[in-house]
Amino acid sequence: MMDKKSKIYIAGHRGMVGSAVWRALEADGFTNLIGKTSAELDLRDQVAVTQFISTEKPVVIIDAAARVGGILANNDYPYQFLMENLQIQNNLIDAAHKHGVQKFIFLGSSCIYPKFAPQPLKEEYLLTDSLEPTNEWYAIAKITGVKACEAIRKQYNKDFVSLMPTNLYGSYDNFDLKTSHVLPAMLRKFHEAKENGNTAVTLWGSGTPMREFLCVDDMAEAVVFAVNNVLPEHLYNVGTGKDVTIKELAETIQNVVGHTGEIIWDSEKPDGTPRKLMDVSKLKHAGWAYKIELLEGIKQTYTWFLENQTELKQVKLSK
């Protein structure tokens, strides 16, 4: 078990994943957590990152910082999704290696796996075929981070590990319809349609692709597990091992929100990968498993969304 007084730096501590990790570590008794906003520390700046890590000397770094978004954002900003993610993770990984950080936990995404890889996705399927074109820029950056951590682990025998979560959702998610992922985007669409008299909701694609969803609080618990244990492998999938169709997801969210209008499927819009189900047996064998079921997690997320409506509207107006 890691000493509860160990200094832990959480990169991206104000984002959905980073803030959940912070809460989970505090709940587990850790008392020396540090974080910097993007205004205080630009993680794309190699000199600034190196100086920060050499001065602070954290025992553990958790990299939850990334430029993220859905299909539309990935399609519109391919260069930023590739370059900025490379800059962020490379600066953190290299500084951690050069300045004696004991443990580095790199967080990525299931999109690192090939588009048509066998299901469920096993860790060994990495780099065995071509990627999904709609998010390949982000995926390539994350693959590079995984391989960098593996290389350091192999060459220097350091405790650098990569956790690849399935689709995450929960408190502090991004509900901006232009840049959000599918679940929060649906939740907001159904909510606004309900508020507008249960008007029809138009959703992208056919509704037939299958997706797996993990509550961010469960993801945070997986990170705490990785902090407290030395894991024997360099790469682990993190998920539920269960998936639903996008149509089933939409109907579940519609019921939770209480929207009674029509759902229209725009089949001219892309579906993305037909299925992405994670094989989570490696991490389960190591001793970790999820706890929050999808329906419960959606209810919790909608409650958070409703409680933070004023703040979310202010964020929208400030853009």
Annotated active-site residue in 9, 138, 169, 290? 138
Q: Coil, helix or strand for 67? A: coil
Q: Coil, helix or strand for 87? A: helix
186 labelled ligand-binding: no
168 labelled ligand-binding: yes
Virtual torsion, Cα 245, 246, 248, 251, nearest 10 deg:
180
31 labelled ligand-binding: no
Sequence length of the chain is 319
Phi and psi at 294, nearest 5°, equal: -60, -50
Calculate the alpha carbon distances from 277 to 70, 148, 161, 247 in Å: 18, 25, 21, 16
145 labelled ligand-binding: no
Angle at 216 between CA 212 and CA 2, to 5 degrees: 120
16 labelled ligand-binding: yes
256 labelled ligand-binding: no
Calculate the alpha carbon distances from 184 to 19, 136, 139, 169 in Å: 17, 22, 21, 7
13 labelled ligand-binding: yes
The reply to whether 138 belongs to the active site is yes
189 labelled ligand-binding: yes
261 labelled ligand-binding: no
Q: 88: closest CA among 136, 23, 36?
A: 36
107 labelled ligand-binding: yes
Q: Coil, helix or strand for 255? A: helix
242 labelled ligand-binding: no
Residue positions in the annotated binding site? Answer: 12-18, 107-110, 142, 165-168, 181, 189, 204, 211, 271
Residue positions in the annotated binding site for substrate? Answer: 189, 204, 211, 271
Residue positions in the annotated binding site for NADP(+)? Answer: 12-18, 107-110, 142, 165-168, 181
Residue numbers annotated as active site: 138
